[in-house]
Each structure stands twice: as structure tokens, then as C-alpha cells.
């Protein structure tokens, strides 16, 4: 735990910092499974998963009190253990997106942050930005216009963050499997919204494979592939699961096995690009992919490069379809039997 998440005094703030602190500061108590009534409260994974959310909240609180982003990245990089560092950057993404959406006439703070001082953590910061879109009035209506201000090959993560926020904070709405994705989303964002909802089940159901699979099975078959992709990302990036969980998930995924593997590949790429290794990422890649994290990560880079080399069309269409194309390419690669 960091000073900000353990109740220690807040550093001296400017007037603007004090206003932000009073208006936006989040409590670590919001990480509690009991507070949300999650079915996974008795899971042995609970403490780990709560700590992930606590780190996210601490990163957010630190960002709203730190206007110097270069100093902020230094503080983040020296305050958190590597396996948890990305979640602190995710919290920063939430605050920067709130700033962007409340002050839309200014240049995007999130775009600047991820292009200059924190390019290694651009994916996870974009996921955090999705929380802002989900929380602010008219945020969802502005999702796609906001994405257009960000890097197209990471901006799609914002929609994943929106889905995670809904699945995490409003999980009861998704218990029956009948809650639809928001209306009016572009197909790519609709897919990513479902990936985020699926990823939220990792927390809601305490990383328990059978409960997760049962929750996904209640949804229409057209929504299940992306939900399993979200679970794969949570498994390899967030971790906290019990031994053997990855193989139980592979068995339970059934026809969506390749989607689960695609999520593992995407999560491994986020870890490797971020330079913040985690032992559970190494274990999952070795056990399931039979490859080190760096090699699994390279598959994403290779497929993105191939997509760009083959593209011959409008730039907007390339942006609007980059994730869907990447998913299709990864599914084809992984369907060739490269993972056990």
C-alpha cells in the first residue's frame, strides 16, 4: 500500500489541488468486495483482487494531486511493486480523462501523457479513461469523439474500461445475461464493451472459473467470445487466481477457447510493453502458451504490423476496425495450435 492509500497525510496542495482533492478523491474502501456485495466474497483470491483496486484508487488520488506529470510518473514508478504498477497508471487514466471531458476545449491531457511521459502504460491508462466516460453525464455519447483525440491503436481500450465499470459497479444488472450493451456503439466499441464486462467478472466472482463460466453462459452466444477474451486478459494481467485455474478456464471456455487465449495474448502484451512483469503472467504464459511472455507479446506486435502493411483504405476505417482485425488475426494464429 502507498502513503495515499494507507491514510497518511496528504502532501501540501495548491488551491486547485485542494479543490480537486475535495471534489474527486476516492476512498480505498471502494475496493471492498463486501461493499459491493460480490458473490465472490469468500474467494481465496479476494485479498489480491481488492489490492488491485486499492492500487487503482491510489493512482487516481495521486494523479489529481500531482499537476506535474513527469514528477507523477517518477513517483508512481518508485512507489509500487512492478506487478501492481499498471493499476496505478490505470487510475491516472481515469483522472486525466475526467479532466479532458470536463474541459473539452483543451488539448487532451491523456493523449499527451501517454505519448510523452508514460507510453509504456498507454493501454492500461486508456482502460482507466473508460471509467470517466461511464461516470460523467453524457460521457457515453461522447465516447467516439473522445477516442478520436487519442492514439487510434490504444483508444479502443477506452470502451473496454466502460464495460468493466458497468460490470463491476452494476454487476447485479448483468446476473441474468439479458442486459444489453449501450445503444449506438460502433461495432468495435460494442465488442470491447463486452470484453470489459467479461473482465469485471474476474472480480465479481472472485476468479472462480465455474462461477465465471456460468455467468458468461447466461449471455447470448454472440457476446460470449469477447467476454472470454476479457477473462483471458484478467487472468494473465491481474492474476490472483488459484493454481490450475488457467486449465479449468480453458476447459470451461469450450468453443470460446481461442477467445480466452487471445485475451491472454493481449494481456501479456500489455505486461511486456509496460515493463512491469508479474510472476502470474510468467506462469500462465509458460503453462498455457508454452512460451515466455516476451514471445507471446510479440504475436500482437507482429499482427499489428501485418495489418498496417496490408491496409489500403481510409484512415478512419482503419482506426474503427483495428481491434476487430487484430482479434481475427490472433484467433487465426492461435487456432493453429500454438497453445496447449
Average pLDDT, the chain: 91
Of 164 and 316, the structure prediction assigns the larger pLDDT to 164
pLDDT bucket at 10, cuts 50 / 70 / 90: very low
Q: Model's pTM, two decimal places?
A: 0.92
Determine the average pLDDT of the residues in 137-144: 94
The per-residue pLDDT for 340 is 53
Q: Concatenated DSSP letters for 235-247?
A: IIII--PPTTHHH
Give residue limits of the domains in the chain.
15-334
The per-residue pLDDT for 303 is 96
pLDDT bucket at 319, cuts 50 / 70 / 90: confident
Provide CB contacts within 8 A for 131, sequence distance 6+.
94, 97, 161, 162, 164, 165
Share of the chain above pLDDT 70, in %: 92
Residue 12, pLDDT above cutoff 70: no
pLDDT bucket at 314, cuts 50 / 70 / 90: confident
User: Do residues 98 and 136 touch, judged by C-beta distance below 8 A?
Assistant: yes
The per-residue pLDDT for 2 is 35
Residue 326, pLDDT above cutoff 70: yes
Residue 124, pLDDT above cutoff 60: yes
**CA quadruple 155, 59, 283, 204: dihedral, nearest 10:** -80
User: Do residues 232 and 260 touch, judged by C-beta distance below 8 A?
Assistant: yes
Q: Using CA atoms, how far apart are residues 231 and 240, in angstroms rounded to an integer?
A: 13
Question: 59-101 pLDDT, tens per residue?
Answer: 999 999 888 999 999 999 999 999 999 999 999 999 999 999 9
Question: 247-305 pLDDT, tens per residue?
Answer: 999 999 999 999 999 999 999 999 999 999 999 999 999 999 999 999 999 999 999 99
Residue 15, pLDDT above cutoff 50: no
DSSP tally for the chain: helices H, then strands E: 18, 0
Burial classification of residue 248, based on how many CB atoms lie within 10 Å of its CB (0-12 exposed, 13-18 middle, 19 or more buried)? middle
Q: Using CA atoms, how far apart are residues 310 and 331, in angstroms rounded to an integer?
A: 18
User: Do residues 250 and 97 touch, judged by C-beta distance below 8 A?
Assistant: no
Amino acid at each position: 500500500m502507498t502513503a495515499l492509500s494507507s491514510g497518511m497525510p496528504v502532501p501540501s496542495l495548491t488551491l486547485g489541488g485542494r479543490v480537486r482533492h475535495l471534489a474527486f478523491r476516492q476512498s480505498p474502501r471502494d475496493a471492498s468486495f463486501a461493499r459491493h456485495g460480490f458473490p465472490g466474497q469468500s474467494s481465496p483470491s479476494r485479498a489480491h483482487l481488492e489490492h488491485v483496486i486499492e492500487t487503482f484508487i491510489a493512482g487516481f488520488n495521486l494523479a489529481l494531486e500531482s499537476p506535474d506529470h513527469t514528477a507523477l510518473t517518477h513517483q508512481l514508478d518508485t512507489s509500487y511493486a512492478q506487478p501492481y504498477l499498471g493499476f496505478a497508471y490505470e487510475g491516472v487514466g481515469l483522472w486525466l480523462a475526467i479532466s479532458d471531458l470536463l474541459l473539452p476545449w483543451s488539448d487532451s491531457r491523456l493523449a499527451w501523457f501517454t505519448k510523452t511521459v508514460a507510453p509504456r502504460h498507454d493501454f492500461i491508462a486508456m482502460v482507466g479513461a473508460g471509467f470517466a466516460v461511464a461516470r460523467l453525464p453524457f460521457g457515453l455519447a461522447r465516447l467516439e469523439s473522445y477516442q478520436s483525440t487519442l492514439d487510434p491503436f490504444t483508444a479502443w481500450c477506452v470502451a473496454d474500461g466502460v464495460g468493466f465499470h458497468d460490470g463491476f459497479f452494476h454487476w447485479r444488472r448483468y446476473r441474468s445475461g439479458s442486459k444489453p450493451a449501450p445503444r449506438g456503439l460502433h461495432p468495435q466499441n460494442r465488442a470491447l464493451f463486452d470484453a470489459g464486462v467479461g473482465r469485471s467478472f474476474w472480480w465479481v466472482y472472485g476468479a472462480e472459473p465455474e462461477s465465471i463460466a456460468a455467468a458468461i453462459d447466461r449471455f447470448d452466444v454472440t457476446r460470449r467470445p469477447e467476454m472470454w477474451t476479457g477473462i483471458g486478459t484478467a487472468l494473465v494481467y491481474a492474476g490472483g487466481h488459484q493454481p490450475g485455474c488457467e486449465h479449468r478456464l480453458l476447459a470451461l471456455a469450450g468453443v470460446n477457447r481461442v477467445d480466452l487465449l487471445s485475451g491472454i495474448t493481449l494481456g501479456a502484451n500489455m505486461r511486456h510493453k509496460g515493463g512491469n512483469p508479474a510472476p502470474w503472467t510468467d506462469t500462465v504464459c509458460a503453462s498455457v502458451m508454452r512460451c515466455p511472455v516476451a514471445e507471446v507479446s510479440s504475436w500482437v506486435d507482429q499482427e499489428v504490423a501485418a495489418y498496417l502493411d496490408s491496409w489500403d483504405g481510409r484512415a478512419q476505417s482503419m482506426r474503427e476496425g483495428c481491434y476487430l482485425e487484430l482479434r481475427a488475426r490472433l484467433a487465426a494464429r492461435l487456432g493453429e495450435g500454438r497453445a496447449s
